Amino acid sequence: MLLLQDILRTSGVKSEIFAESISASGLGLARSFDLVFEEEADPDVSFLYHHSSGSPVADWFSRTPARGTLWFHNVTPPHFFQPWDQRATVSMASGLRQLHELARRASLSIAHSQYSARALYEAGAPKVAVIPPLIDFQRLAGCEKATLAVLSERKRSGGIDLLFVGRIAPHKAQHDLIRCLAQIRRSWDPHARLTLVGWIYSQRYMDSLRTLCRDEGVGEAVCFAGAVSDDVLAAHYAAADVFLSLSQHEGFGIPLVESMHSAVPVIAHENSAIGETLGGAGLLLSSREPQEVSNAVREVVTHPRRQQHMIRLGKRRAQGFSMTRTRQAVVTTLLPHSGRAFARGRPAKSRT
């Protein structure tokens, strides 16, 4: 959102961010949503609403007479959360219901993938544009030396390093990754390791993952790194042999692109937008069954020529998501919808 705001401002559009809740790190970067009503009557203001879950803000956006654009990040199907988190289940179900009103209300809807665009059209959106997420690869330019040193020392004992980046949530399927690690260690690499980077979205699901690690006998081989800084994330990418994703739902999948940019071959279960995002540069699996995943990982890491071929394809694919290209797509697609004032050649105002 901050990257988008920078694009708007450098294009001559005044832009402010309003949020329903603001963390300590967001103070000074966003304003309380309670203040948005002061802007509603201004004919030069256009609102841009980011939608990924249920929110009272979505109800307001559906009712406001001001011009509006919907920025759709997709909504995780609620059934993934039902056994784990009732609050998340309700939020996602609400988000799917609200999507129909939001899509019909917005003069323009923006999706990050054709997969998400189809959901918008099915919800009744009259006009949809597909723009990839704004991915700032410069975030990964640095590498936290202390973390990289620890990871490098760990590699000296042998064994491959599997990496997955994504919040700890049921649809990300970290449980399948743990089972696959156990299979790899039993069948061909007893020293294999798995690092899971991401903040805890569901504590109950997180607790089940720790229990699963104990039951599978891989507790010492799984690292729950939590939420990390950009420099630490870059170190994890640098140490990884394979980025393995068995996620069951992705509206796009930014870590897939970050991995390709970081020269890490990607193996992923094909569903939702994952195949579209990889664009033929990764190895797509039709199954999450541990033995089949184990075989696929072994096929990649034990054949250096294939591994290097995947890395080359991945880096080429990642270049297609450069900030330069995506920024231009935002400017040419979004700015004509930022309001009559911008069209007349003087700065308009955007509220996101």
pLDDT in tens, the chain (352 residues): 999 999 999 999 899 999 888 888 888 899 888 888 877 778 888 899 999 999 999 999 988 888 899 999 999 999 999 999 999 999 999 999 999 999 999 999 999 999 999 999 999 999 999 999 999 999 999 999 999 999 999 999 899 999 999 999 999 999 999 999 999 999 999 999 999 999 999 999 999 999 999 999 999 999 999 999 999 999 999 999 999 999 999 999 999 999 999 999 999 999 999 999 999 999 999 999 999 999 999 999 999 999 999 999 999 999 999 999 999 999 999 887 654 333 222 333 555 6
Residue 66, domain extent: 2-135+322-351
Q: Is 88 exposed, middle or buried (0-12, 13-18, 19+ CB in 10 A)?
A: buried
Using an 8 Å Cβ cutoff, are 51 and 75 in contact?
Answer: yes
Q: What is the CATH number of the domain that holds 62?
A: 3.40.50
Query: Are 32 and 121 in the same domain?
Result: yes
Taking residue 245's Cβ as centre, other Cβ atoms within 10 Å add up to: 27
Query: Are 29 and 8 in the same domain?
Result: yes
Query: Are 112 and 145 in the same domain?
Result: no
The domain tally of the chain equals: 2
Phi, psi of 181 (to 5 degrees): -60, -45
Query: Are 128 and 142 in the same domain?
Result: no
End-to-end distance of the chain based on CA atoms, in angstroms?
8
Query: Are 12 and 126 in the same domain?
Result: yes
The structure tokens listed for 188 are: 């061909």
Query: Are 142 and 120 in the same domain?
Result: no
Angle formed at CA 68 by CA 344 and CA 255, multiple of 5 degrees: 110
The structure tokens listed for 242 are: 């394979």
- Written as one string, the DSSP assignment of 60-111 is HHHH--SEEEEEE-----GGGTTTT-HHHHHHHHHHHHHHHHHHHH-SEEEE
Distance CA 254, CA 195 (A): 17
Query: Are 87 and 163 in the same domain?
Result: no
Nearest Cα to Cα of residue 320 among 180, 152, 131, 185: 131
Distance CA 131, CA 334 (A): 10
Q: What is the CATH number of the domain that holds 218?
A: 3.40.50.2000
Query: Are 14 and 31 in the same domain?
Result: yes
Distance CA 117, CA 159 (A): 41
Q: Where are the beta strands (DSSP E) in the chain?
A: 14-16, 18-19, 31-32, 45-51, 67-72, 108-111, 128-130, 161-165, 193-197, 222-226, 242-245, 266-269, 283-285, 349-351
Query: Are 291 and 331 in the same domain?
Result: no
* pTM of structure: 0.93
Query: Are 74 and 174 in the same domain?
Result: no
Phi, psi of 315 (to 5 degrees): -65, -40
Distance CA 154, CA 133 (A): 34
Query: Are 173 and 304 in the same domain?
Result: yes
Query: Are 122 and 146 in the same domain?
Result: no
